[in-house]
Amino acid sequence: MSKAMLIMDMPESCAKCKLFFDSYTDMICRGNHRTINYPYPDKKVQDWCPLLEVPKKITERTRLCNKWYAQGYNACVDEILDEN
């Protein structure tokens, strides 16, 4: 089965997320079908949030590997963020 990736802005809280669903009885994360407990929707993103931040580029200060790996890694991050 092929894979897919959704790129969106990382929300500050569950209530500001596009995956947030507020029904009459529950607040639900549509990303993993879990109930969001009060008062968390307005406070922060849950620890079990299915969204992952795009990794940072490898810089000279953080490079612990060879330069060819760093260039390939940074090219992948550029491609994901469409910064070419």
pTM metric for this prediction = 0.60
Q: Which residues contact 54 (CB under 8 A, 6 or more apart)?
A: 7, 77, 80, 81
* 12-40 pLDDT per residue, tens: 888 888 888 888 888 888 888 888 876 65
Measuring CA to CA, how many Å separate 72 from each of 5, 29, 48, 65? 19, 34, 30, 12
* 63-82 pLDDT per residue, tens: 566 666 777 788 888 888 87
What pLDDT is stored for residue 42 in this prediction?
Answer: 61
Q: How confident is the model at residue 60 (pLDDT cuts 50, 70, 90)?
A: low
Q: What are the sequence ranges of the domains in the chain?
A: 11-51, 53-84
Cis peptide bond upstream of 55, omega within 30: no
Surface-to-core class of residue 73, CB atoms within 10 Å of its CB (0-12 exposed, 13-18 middle, 19+ buried):
middle
Dist CA 20 CA 35 (whole Å): 10
What pLDDT is stored for residue 41 in this prediction?
Answer: 57
